[in-house]
């Protein structure tokens, strides 16, 4: 379903929670709404679902205005963090629920549920009750239940927030694959930038009720439009006046007079590791975090704390020692 939202506004009392939000979503795309707590992500989702009234603005599905359409007529499926399954129903009955409400004939229900069971990898679990499933399996049932009535839009509000890190990682890949196979337009809310980057076709960064930036994860990472976006997506430090640092004059993506320095932009090391020392700044190692496959190094350069990585084969650095800090040529801009 193609979605178009224009000039969306929402107040809660005096509080302006959603401010003139505009966006368009292409049919079949998976969009991640990412941003700090209280930014307005859930409010936007609830207005799309028809669960919250809007103060002003227009929501169009397939070009048609749906502002007044009740939730059950919008053709939407939901998976929420706490959208619990029916405890007294089996996996089969949970998935079949929306189809029975629609008065689908029994044989059709059977067919559709088995299709969903197959699609979500739940074969063999049909007769189990929710308490006999793991958290990840329960969430897969929730997806199957949401998809069963063939909605045209899927809304996901932190669907994996309550699940262990390792299973969450597996579910992300699983979700990406599922959405691709079903080809359904989907919007998911998350706090987790890694999740958004990995799963979404496009990310919308929501902050203080506004869309700060919308684009592919790659575009947003490479070309953040505001310092907020730059620091929210990926690790980075913003240097207010890069011209004062030797070798940093053209460093990073410039945001006005500022330079954005990400860990992969720079390298630290001892004098003998660099050939062209004239173009380097001096720094002091402040922290070293062992990350298994490499070191994460925090280096202080003229009062700025920058992070970078260092491979394990190289000489080990020590906290407090002086090092050279070099900006990789690929990250120098004119």
The three-state secondary structure class of 263 is: helix
Spatial distance between the Cα atoms of 50 and 38, rounded to a whole number of angstroms: 20
Task: Provide the sign of the torsion angle of the four alpha carbons 14, 71, 76, 88, taken in this order.
Answer: positive
Give whichever of 191 and 210 is closer to ligand ATP, judged by the CB atom: 191
Residues 202 and 216 sit within 8 Å (Cβ to Cβ) = yes
Q: Out of 8, 25, 32, 42, point to the residue binding ligand ATP (CB under 6 A).
A: 42
Of the candidates 177, 113, 172, the one whose C-alpha atom is nearest the C-alpha of residue 145 is: 113
Which secondary-structure segment (H or E) carries 189?
Answer: strand 185-190
**78 sits near ligand ATP (criterion: CB under 6 A):** no
Q: Out of 25, 31, 32, 41, point to the residue binding ligand ATP (CB under 6 A).
A: 41
Q: Taking contact as CB under 6 A, which single stretch among the options 36-44, 56-64, 264-272, 320-328 is the one that binds ligand ATP?
A: 36-44
Q: State the first-to-last Cα distance of the chain, in angstroms, to the nearest integer.
A: 42
**53 sits near ligand ATP (criterion: CB under 6 A):** no
By CB under 6 A, the residues from 136 to 195 that bind ligand ATP are: 191
Q: Out of 3, 5, 8, 17, point to the residue binding ligand ATP (CB under 6 A).
A: 17
Give whichever of 40 and 263 is closer to ligand ATP, judged by the CB atom: 40
Residue 71: CB minimum distance to ligand ATP, A: 16
Spatial distance between the Cα atoms of 167 and 152, rounded to a whole number of angstroms: 27
Q: Out of 12, 86, 218, 333, point to the residue binding ligand ATP (CB under 6 A).
A: 12
Spatial distance between the Cα atoms of 28 and 107, rounded to a whole number of angstroms: 29
Q: Taking contact as CB under 6 A, which single stretch among the options 39-47, 210-218, 251-259, 321-329 is the one that binds ligand ATP?
A: 39-47
Residues 29 and 216 sit within 8 Å (Cβ to Cβ) = no
**39 sits near ligand ATP (criterion: CB under 6 A):** yes
Residue 220: CB minimum distance to ligand ATP, A: 17
Residues 153 and 59 sit within 8 Å (Cβ to Cβ) = no
Q: Taking contact as CB under 6 A, which single stretch among the options 30-38, 89-97, 139-147, 265-273 is the one that binds ligand ATP?
A: 30-38
Q: Taking contact as CB under 6 A, which single stretch among the options 37-45, 148-156, 288-296, 310-318 is the one that binds ligand ATP?
A: 37-45
Beta-carbon contacts of residue 301 (< 8 Å; ≥ 6 apart): 245, 248, 281, 282, 283, 325
What residue ranges bind ligand ATP (CB under 6 A)? 12, 17, 35, 37-43, 191
């Amino acid at each position: 379903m193609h979605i178009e939202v224009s000039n969306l506004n929402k107040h809660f009392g005096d509080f302006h929670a959603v401010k003139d939000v505009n966006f368009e979503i292409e049919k079949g795309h998976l969009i991640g709404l990412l941003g700090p707590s209280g930014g307005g992500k859930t409010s936007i989702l609830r207005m799309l679902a028809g669960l919250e009234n809007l103060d002003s603005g227009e929501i169009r599905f397939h070009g048609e205005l749906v502002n007044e359409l009740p939730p059950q007529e919008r053709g939407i499926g939901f998976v929420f963090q706490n959208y619990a399954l029916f405890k007294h129903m089996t996996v089969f009955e949970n998935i079949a629920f929306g189809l029975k409400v629609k008065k689908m004939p029994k044989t059709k229900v059977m067919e559709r549920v088995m299709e969903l069971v197959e699609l979500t990898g739940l074969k063999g679990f049909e007769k189990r009750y929710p308490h006999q499933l793991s958290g990840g399996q329960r969430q897969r049932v929730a997806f199957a239940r949401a998809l069963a009535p063939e909605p045209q839009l899927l809304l996901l509000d932190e669907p994996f927030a309550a699940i262990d890190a390792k299973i969450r990682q597996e579910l992300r890949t699983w979700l990406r694959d599922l959405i691709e196979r079903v080809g359904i337009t989907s919007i998911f809310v998350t706090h987790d930038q890694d999740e958004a980057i990995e799963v979404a076709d496009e990310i919308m960064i929501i902050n203080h009720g506004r869309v700060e930036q919308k684009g592919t994860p790659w575009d947003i990472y490479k070309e953040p439009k505001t310092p907020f976006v730059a620091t929210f997506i990926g690790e980075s430090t913003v240097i207010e006046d890069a011209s004062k640092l030797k070798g940093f004059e053209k460093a990073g993506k410039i945001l006005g007079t500022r330079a954005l320095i990400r860990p992969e932009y720079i390298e630290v090391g001892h004098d003998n590791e660099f050939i062209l020392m004239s173009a380097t700044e001096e720094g002091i190692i402040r922290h070293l975090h062992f990350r298994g496959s490499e070191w994460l190094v925090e280096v202080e350069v003229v009062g700025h704390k920058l992070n970078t990585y260092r491979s394990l084969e190289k000489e080990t650095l020590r906290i407090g020692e002086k090092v050279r800090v070099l900006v990789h040529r690929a990250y120098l801009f004119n």
